[in-house]
Copies of this chain bind each other. A is one copy, B any other.
Amino acid sequence: MSSRAEQPLPPLPLSTKARRTREQPISFLIETALRNPGLINLAAGLVDPLTLPVDECAEITRRILSDPSRGRAALQYDTTVGLRPLRQKLHEHIAALEGLAPRELGFTSDHIVVTTGSQQALYLVGDALLDPGDIVIAANPSYFVYTGTLQSLDAKVLCVPMDDDGMDVEAVAQLLARLEGEGRLPRVKLIYCTSYFDNPTGLSLSVARRKRLLEIVLSLRHRQRILIHEDAAYRELRYDGPAMRSMKSMDPDNRHTILSLTFSKPFAPGLKLGYTAMPDDLLHAVLQQKGNHDFGSANLAQHIALEAMRDGSYDKHVAVLIRSYRAKRDAILAALERFMPRDAGITWTHPHGGLYVWLTLPPSVDTSREAGIFDECVSHGVMYVPGEYCFQPDELGRIPQNHMRLSFGQVDPGQIAPGIERLAQVVRAQLTIEYSPQHVE
């Protein structure tokens, strides 16, 4: 064998899927944050560490684990679908969010699956429905971790624009009509919609558009069963404006809608639990996949979540979060108002909930990772998420480069104004360079 020792060994024979899968851009952002510990991080989609329910979880775990039989149940396996009393409680919880009685919902606790964060639900639904080349309709911009997942599954993401009322649902109708004309309707499986305080824009889908989107899907139901996947991760972080019912609550037959929620945003990411209500036949397929993935999410975490819902600490904690994040939302909007130049076509969203503000700069300003501004901001001690990550290319392969996602989630309240001030300095310098007739480069 020594004569062959110098011969290069063959590469690892990865699957087609693995070769297709791209790195999530989030890895790069986390690395940048770690390399620059002094940075004011307006990029991280993390929740505020200061408002995590440490004392509540201490009391809850004490209660669970001081009772031997309950403690043993929490440390044993449970089922693939998730802890039954938790799912019952979640069913009641969703009803309360909708302002309905549990029996008024079109689904029961048997249609709820508990997952490892809501991300796993997004993945499993994709796994159950999507073959390579199948179509998912989403807004442009959209939640970039999900579109990365769809890329890995080799699904085709077709996007429609969005405005202050959320996804342009008439554009969805037109797109579906066009696809039907092209004979591609059978490939359309899902419409993905972050209907509450969207990641990345902070905007919500209006009530009128919710109704209309469901109507569009229903009008096609004899030709193709298209499911609306409503990702409501930020739903409970509502600071002002009306509560809105989900599309799921408008689907009495539980046939056309999927509603995903999570404990990560309104309670604690460390439990890594999400939950999703979905049609019966989809649930069956999702559970078969989950049986292969892990046959059930962490059971101790499910017992903690259940107890938090039972003893009222969940609701109390959401109220604490709302007060804290509302103040931070107000602070970031005030800082933008104060520091950001207003005379050059710069706009930003005014979210009623969630963790994000979406900043739009003049088209000439390039916020992408490769452009100078990103590094300039990092060297000024502030980081944002380049808006480019949140877009799918249009027919000409173009991606808007003039947006930033700003998060007020993790950042310390006192750092919001300085962070926006630093950002504004870099933006202002950029505008000077762009617009100054003296500039010769």
Question: What interface size band does chain A fall in?
Answer: 35 or more
A16 interface neighbour in B16, B23, B131, B282, Cβ under 8 Å: B131
Identify which of residues 271-317 in chain A touch chain B, using a CB-to-CB cut-off of 8 Å. Answer: 271-273, 279, 281-282, 285, 288-289, 291-301, 303-304
Q: Evaluate contact between B297 and A272: CB separation under 8 angstroms.
A: yes
Q: How far is A27 from B9 in the complex, measured between Cα atoms in Å?
A: 43
Interface string of A96-123 (1 = CB under 8 A from B): 0000000000000000000111011001
Q: Which residues of chain A from 4 to 19 have a CB within 8 Å of any chain B CB?
A: 4, 7, 9-18
Q: Which of A46, A49, A54, A120 has the most CB of B within 10 A?
A: A54
Cα distance A12–B152 in the bound complex, in angstroms: 22
| Residues on B with beta carbons closer than 8 Å to the beta carbon of A119 | 292-295
Given contacts A75-B52, A223-B10, A269-B299, contact A293 B120 (CB under 8 A): yes
Determine the chain B residues whose CB is within 8 A of the CB of A127 once the complex forms: 15, 17-18
Q: Does A270 contact B (CB under 8 A)?
A: yes
Q: How far is the CA of A304 from the CA of B75 in the complex (A)?
A: 12
A118 to chain B, nearest CB (A): 10
**A177 touches B (CB below 8 Å):** no
Check A57/B30 contact, CB under 8 A, given A18-B127, A149-B292, A189-B13: no
A294-B269 Cα distance, complex, nearest whole Å = 12
> A186 near B13 (CB under 8 angstroms)?
yes
Residues of B within 8 A of A80 (CB): 27
Docked Cα-Cα span, A294 to B127, in Å, equals 13
Q: Is A24 close to B, CB under 8 A?
A: yes
| Chain B residues whose C-beta falls within 8 Å of the C-beta of A289 in the assembled complex | 17-18, 21, 152
Q: Which of A215-235 contact B (CB under 8 A)?
A: 221-225
A24 proximity list for chain B (CB < 8 A): 288, 291-292, 295
Instruction: Kindly provide the distance from the CB of A78 to the nearest chain B CB, expressed in whole angstroms.
Output: 8
Stretch in A64-72, A198-206, A331-339, A379-387 with 4+ CB within 8 Å of B: A64-72
Give, as a whole number of angstroms, the nearest-CB distance from A50 to chain B: 8
The reply to whether B299 and A270 form a contact with Cβ atoms under 8 Å apart is yes
- A79 at the A/B interface (Cβ < 8 Å)? yes
How many angstroms from the CA of A134 to the CA of B13 in the assembled complex?
A: 10
Residue pair B292, A225 in contact (C-beta under 8 Å): no
For residue A191, CB closer than 8 A to chain B, the reply is: no
Asked if A438 CB lies within 8 Å of chain B CBs, one says no
Task: Note all chain B residues with C-beta closer than 8 A to A74.
Answer: 270
Q: Mark A27-64, 1 if CB is under 8 A from B, else 0.
A: 10010000000000000001101101111011001100
CB distance from A219 to the nearest CB of B (A): 8
Q: Which 10 A-B pairs have the closest CB atoms?
A: A54-B71, A58-B65, A75-B270, A272-B298, A75-B268, A61-B61, A270-B299, A298-B298, A270-B300, A149-B292
What would be 8 A-B contacts, judged by CB atoms less than 8 Å apart? A15-B129, A24-B292, A27-B291, A54-B65, A58-B62, A117-B295, A119-B295, A270-B299
